[in-house]
Amino acid sequence: MGVVNVTPDSFSDGGRYDDTDRAVQHGLRLLAEGADLLDIGGESTRPGATRPLVAEELQRVVPVIRELAAAGARLSVDTMRAEVAAAALEAGATVVNDVSGGLADPGILDVVAASGATYVAMHWRGHSDRMQDLASYDEPGGVVWAVVSELRERLVAIQQAGVRAEQVVLDPGLGFAKAARHSWELLAGLEEVARLGCPLLVGASRKSFLGQLLASDDGTPRPVGERESAHLAVVTMLAERGVWGVRVHDVRATVDALTAWQAMRPPPLEDRA
């Protein structure tokens, strides 16, 4: 899943693709590099970000989705709003990527139920202006236990709204109301999240837990643009664990890493002499 942020303020690429033409060109490039799916977002979720108006969000994502759909792309809309999800599906998206898992605007679940779209439900505890205050996981079992039980609750609510289990993809929400160590613990404990029975999507690309791992001796985090090698190690491990998707900014590097991973996988038993 290649990321197209049509936002002025995303932490990873804010302002680079914030008009329709540039966003579409960027999407086409990611497709040419081998993305299977493009995730179009009009709201930055960086810690501390303020929310755009609904009209603003619609204006950012709908024209981009319409143009990329006309070019044959498979598209996801990164939104927490029912109204934006409905307009995006109408414009040609087939996946709704809701970082709030239906908590920010429960009406989004009705839109997904009525459309039959794939629904990505991410682990989330609150909007960006306060999510860092919500990064506490003191119960026994820590962050993995908390994320699994909170996602299980979401799964119940999602199905109660009429969304079929087969439509749902779960995401542990790396970096969302999580300190760096929480994101690493979640990656290590991903098997527990997989036991909920849904395919998994993981977004690690360029996130601050990578920057903190690679910090210099004085504690300065590695800059956003210099985290890719570490990210590729994570992506390869995720492929080995059989996730449904990885949400990435650098599609070319990701496809290269996955091509190498595939080349060194043992052939299926029936092909062995």
Q: Return the active site residues.
A: 207, 247
Does 11 participate in binding ligand PMM (rule CB under 6 A)?
Answer: yes
Does 124 participate in binding ligand PMM (rule CB under 6 A)?
Answer: no
Stretch that binds ligand PMM, among 6-14, 81-89, 144-152, 156-164 (CB under 6 A): 6-14
- Minimum CB separation of residue 174 from ligand PMM in Å reads 5
Measured distance CA(171)–CA(193) in Å, rounded? 9
Name which position in 42, 170, 247, 254 contacts ligand PMM (CB under 6 A).
247
User: 225-235 burial, b if ≥16 CB within 10 A, otherwise e?
Assistant: eebbebbbebb
- Minimum CB separation of residue 34 from ligand PMM in Å reads 19
Strand order in the sheet with 38-41: 2-5, 38-41, 75-78, 95-98, 118-122, 168-171
DSSP structure string for 169-232: EEE--TTTT--HHHHHHHHHTHHHHHTTSS-BEE--TT-HHHHHHT--TT-PPPPGGG-HHHHH
Name which position in 38, 45, 112, 231 contacts ligand PMM (CB under 6 A).
45
Name which position in 57, 67, 105, 171 contacts ligand PMM (CB under 6 A).
171
Does 122 participate in binding ligand PMM (rule CB under 6 A)?
Answer: yes
Question: Which residue type occupies 138?
Answer: D
Does 201 participate in binding ligand PMM (rule CB under 6 A)?
Answer: yes
Note the residues at the interface with ligand PMM (CB under 6 A).
3, 5, 10-12, 41, 44-46, 78, 97, 99, 120, 122, 171, 173-174, 201, 203, 206, 247
